[in-house]
Amino acid sequence: MNSAALAAKLLALADDEYILGHRDAEWTGHAPILEEDIAFANIAQDEIGHAVLWYNALKDLNGDDPDRLVFFRESSGWRNAQFVELPKGDWAFTMVRQYLFDAAELVRLAETVNSAHRAVAEVSEKIRPEEMYHYRHTSNWVKRLGLGTEESHRRMQAALDSLWPRALQLFAPLPNEDELIAAGIFPAPDKLRAAWEGATRSWLTDSGLTIPTITASAADREQHTEHLAALLAEMQEVARLEPPDVKW
Amino acid sequence: MDTQWPRYEVFEKERPDWPHRNAGSVHAPDAEMALENARDVFVRRPHCLSLWVAPASEIFSMTAEQLAGFDWRSVPAGPDSEPYLVFQKQTQRAAETFVVHVGEVEARSHAEAMSHAVEKFGSGGVFVWWVCPARAVTRSEESDVSAMFAPSESKPYRQPHFYKVIAQLREIKSKASE
């Protein structure tokens, strides 16, 4: 097995979960209603919890310390998709992003629970029930907002137009990922993309939304928007105030 | 314009030998979302086996005092009888003020259901009665348990005792008094 390729894959998964969880957490105290504030804070907490599981799997593989990775890494070192680092936008943008992400998670987890790599299978087993609930919750929101008022529909369509092309970055193969696929550790991204499109296209269409046409190819995970550096500056600020070996 | 969503009462069953108990209420645009909101608001702690939600507008509530002179025949009833769920608040103790599910009756109106409920389940010592048509209740499925309820069992950091706040406060106080 190519352990560098596996490490790169685990880092990408962890970074996606962590950055999205952070963006989601920005709604805490600001979500449209109290009940959803609690519901979405739960989802944010779950995503960060999933990131911790992937970071710990990475640590077991190559010794990388999760705290160092999260709180002391420059934006150029992050391997999350741009899809998750974009500012939270309005509620429609947040719901569309979370829905598309949850759907991508579910199709991958359905495969990786049977991964040939034990840690990948175990983490997937733990994450999957939570993602099933996320998907249920966000898909219900998508349908209600898509078929809701003129304003909610307009906002949802605008969010989908912006996010759909960027979501494809979640399925862009990493360098040497083919070795992980051949070893039965991770499924082929194009297979996942087909399953993801199968699920999301029909649900979004039933929700009154139009799937945009894609013209550009997905960005590389080494390329980030200016939004990631701003996010990290805020997120890492407190940790960087203290000496590295401080005990909390 | 009132933009508030309707209120749903939430009933939670925490153990196999316990009845469904009223946990509180949530607002939601419809019953399906109410069930999800109920999960997120009230099932942050372990051991939930089943959730019910019912629109507050479908729940007919009476206190023991109100029942004293109550004649259900004075309230118009529908032509067909249907099952109603019956709930009681059985104690005023602060830690146990739940309204709990006690069973079912058949009736043609909320008022008739209330009357039958008191006949069937009344044995004194009940402070508040609720009846609700069974059709108005949305219930979680057995298959929902793994995704809706089980994950919270592995999240001890959501429990207040996880943080040992009382012990830490004692330590701070003892240092302050030195």
Quick one: pLDDT at residue A248?
60
B16-45 pLDDT, tens digit each: 999 999 999 999 999 999 999 999 998 876
Residues of A in contact with B33 (CB under 8 A): 140, 144
What angle do helix axes A91-112 and A3-25 make, rounded to 10 degrees? 150
**ipTM, two decimals:** 0.86
Name the residue range of residue B99's domain: 7-177
What angle do helix axes A189-206 and A118-146 make, rounded to 10 degrees? 20
Tokens representing A9 are 């894959």
In a domain, B158, yes or no: yes
Cβ of residue A105 closer than 8 Å to a chain B Cβ: no
Closest-CA distance, B53 to chain A, in angstroms, reads 14
List, run by run, the mean pLDDT of 10-residue segments along chain A (248 residues). 92 98 96 94 95 97 95 96 97 98 98 97 95 96 97 98 95 93 96 97 98 84 96 93 73
In a domain, B2, yes or no: no
Cβ of residue B153 closer than 8 Å to a chain A Cβ: no
> Considering the entire predicted model, what is its pTM?
0.90
Read out DSSP for chain B?
---PPPEEEEEEE-STTS--EEEEEEE-SSHHHHHHHHHHHH-SSS---EEEEEEGGG-EEEEHHHHTT--GGGS---SS-EEEEEEEE----GGG--EEEEEEEEESSHHHHHHHHHHHH--S---EEEEEEGGG-EE--GGGIIIIIGGGGG-GGGSGGGG-HHHHHHHHHHHHH-
In a domain, A116, yes or no: yes
Closest-CA distance, A218 to chain B, in angstroms, reads 32
Residues B5, A33: C-beta atoms closer than 8 Å: yes
Quick one: pLDDT at residue B68?
83
> Residues for chain A: how many in total?
248
Q: Which residue has the higher pLDDT, B113 or B98?
A: B113
Quick one: pLDDT at residue B38?
94
Query: In chain B, pLDDT over 70 holds for what percent of residues?
Result: 95
Quick one: pLDDT at residue B97?
67
In a domain, B1, yes or no: no
Q: Give Cβ neighbours of residue A63 (< 8 Å, ≥ 6 apart).
A: none
B44-90 pLDDT, tens digit each: 766 789 999 999 999 999 998 888 878 877 878 888 999 999 999 98
pLDDT exceeds cutoff 90 at B122: no
Q: Give Cβ neighbours of residue A156 (< 8 Å, ≥ 6 apart).
A: A92, A95, A96, A142, A145, A146, A207, A209
**Partners of B138 in beta bridges:** B53
Cα distances (Å, whole numbers) of residue A248 to A49, A51, A244, B150: 19, 21, 11, 30
Residues B147, A133: C-beta atoms closer than 8 Å: yes
Quick one: pLDDT at residue B147?
81
In a domain, B161, yes or no: yes
Overall number of domains in chain B: 1
pLDDT band at B162 (very low <50, low <70, confident <90, very high): confident
Residues of A in contact with B29 (CB under 8 A): 144
In a domain, A246, yes or no: no
Please give the helix or strand (H or E) that residue A135 lies within, else none: helix A118-146
Beta strand pairing call for B50-55 and B7-13:
antiparallel
Mean pLDDT of chain B: 88
Beta strand pairing call for B50-55 and B60-63:
unpaired
Q: Which residue has the higher pLDDT, B61 or B150?
A: B61
Quick one: pLDDT at residue A167?
95
In a domain, A41, yes or no: yes
> Residues for chain B: how many in total?
178
> Domain of A23: which CATH number?
1.20.1260.10
In a domain, A136, yes or no: yes
∠ CA(B53), CA(B59), CA(B60), 5° rounding? 165
Average pLDDT over residues B12-19: 91
In a domain, B154, yes or no: yes
Q: CA–CA separation, A181 vs A54, rounded Å?
A: 18
Residues of B in contact with A136 (CB under 8 A): 36, 147
Overall number of domains in chain A: 1
In a domain, B30, yes or no: yes
Name the residue range of residue A42's domain: 3-241
In a domain, B54, yes or no: yes
Quick one: pLDDT at residue A217?
79
In a domain, A184, yes or no: yes
The sheet carrying B7-13 orders its strands as: B60-63, B128-133, B82-89, B99-107, B21-27, B7-13, B50-55, B138-139
Q: CA–CA separation, B138 vs B130, rounded Å?
A: 16
Quick one: pLDDT at residue B1?
63
In a domain, A191, yes or no: yes
In a domain, A167, yes or no: yes
Quick one: pLDDT at residue B74?
80
In a domain, B83, yes or no: yes
In a domain, A53, yes or no: yes
pLDDT band at B2 (very low <50, low <70, confident <90, very high): confident
